[in-house]
Amino acid sequence: MDNSHLTQPSRRRLLQKGTLGLSAAAIAPSAFSQTGPSIRWRLASSFPKSLDTIYGGAEVLSKRLNEITGGKFQISVHAAGELMPAFGVVDALQNGGIECAHTASYYFVGKNRTFGFETTLPFGLNQRQQNAWMYYGGGLQLVREFLRDYNIVNFPGGNTGVQMGGWFKKEIKSLADIKGLKMRIPGIGGEIMAKLGAIPQQIPGGEIYQALERGTIDGAEWVGPYDDEKLGFYKVANHYYYPGWWESNSMYSFYVNAKAWESLPKEYQAAFAAAAAEANIDMMAEYDFKNPTALRRLVGNGVKMHAYSNQILKAAQTAAFEFYAEEAEKNPSFKKIYEPWLKFRSDIMVWHRFAETTYSNFVLNNPIKS
């Protein structure tokens, strides 16, 4: 892409928005290999190696950063549990124990519910809308202001798109079936489920299968067909629900210790931002490629597919927005992001209702025979 027409401030804004237009080729490796320092960082992932899509997002970042800088900036990627527990990365970043991490912000809503915005809010934005909000709608700036108190600089680091609605050992036909249900579900989604009567559990991805198998939990949500199949949930709970209303998208994040970030030369910062932006887009494309065939395999293995009833969806949506209003009243940092987020959501839903939704509804309801 030729950016020669851009003014210097325009170039700077392009970089600050996540370098959506900055390719690896735009930064010559020779510029690093001749004069740049050799930098080695460690990245702690919140995900197991077995999940090549989510865990692989950090590997995309590491590989591209190595290529862009001619080997001058290398990041070693460590799976959950290698350096610290899956949910220990924010504390480690705050204390300078590691330079960076790959995680989901909503794992940390126990610290402050404002952490939820970066990954997703129930009945929130889809993947395209989340990218638009983060890169152009002020979301990235707002989240970065919030994360300053945690000594963290964040970058979008992948997305799953709309997730599935979980695996259960019995059918969930009505709100009555949710009462007392022990379900693995993190973030604010878990709090909304609690309002409906469930008992949410926060369990790392690599431990969900055992919890289902042992009966510690009655159900669990993770991501979607490809990852869920790899983790084997269908072997211990064969009722598969949709949609995952608590994760209309799920944006993962690269978190960088603020002091480590500030110590980087500017060209290294630009390289990191470019590699992160590529990883962010790459993950969604990989999921969209792999999920359809995985879903067919699951159905072939006897998985029973169910849609959540309108009764459950309407009750959950009402509970969600009541929860947000209550939280905004008592949490200034939540309110600071929620109000512009809500306006953005309203505006983009109107736009998507026309071309996007109308087209999708038509082609889905009028399939071509092959």
Q: Which residue has the tokens 């960082």?
A: 41
Percent of the chain with pLDDT over 70: 91
Q: What b/e readout covers 288-299, taking b as 16+ CB neighbours within 10 angstroms?
A: eebbeebbeebe
Backbone angles phi, psi at 61, to 5 degrees: -55, -50
| Phi, psi at 42, each rounded to 5° | -110, 140
Assessment of whether the complete model's pTM goes beyond 0.95: no
Q: What is the rounded CA–CA span in Å between residue 224 and residue 284?
A: 12
The DSSP bridge pattern shows strands 219-220 and 167-168 to be antiparallel
Query: Residue 118: what residue type?
Result: E
Range in 6-20, 215-229, 270-284, 348-362 the model is least confident about = 6-20
* Residue 51 near residue 38 (C-beta atoms within 8 A): no
Q: Return the residue matching tokens 């989240």.
A: 143
pLDDT at 5: 41
List, in sequence order, every residue forming a beta bridge with 251; answer none if it has no partner. 159
Mean pLDDT, rounded, for 75-104: 97
Residue 16 has pLDDT above 70, yes or no: no
Q: What is the pLDDT averaged over residues 250-274? A: 98
Please tell me the CATH code under which domain 8-158+249-288 is placed: 3.40.190.170
Going across the sheet that includes 251-257, the strands are 73-78, 39-45, 100-103, 251-257, 152-159
Question: How far is CA 80 from its chain centroid?
Answer: 16
| Contact yes or no for 102/156 (Cβ under 8 A) | no
Averaged pLDDT for residues 225-249:
97
Tell me, letter by letter, the H, E, C secondary structure of 169-210.
CCCCCCHHHCCCCEEECCHHHHHHHHHCCCEEECCCHHHHHH
For residue 92, give the amino acid letter. Answer: A
Instruction: Categorize the per-residue pLDDT at 36 as very low, low, confident or very high, splitting at 50, 70 and 90.
Output: confident
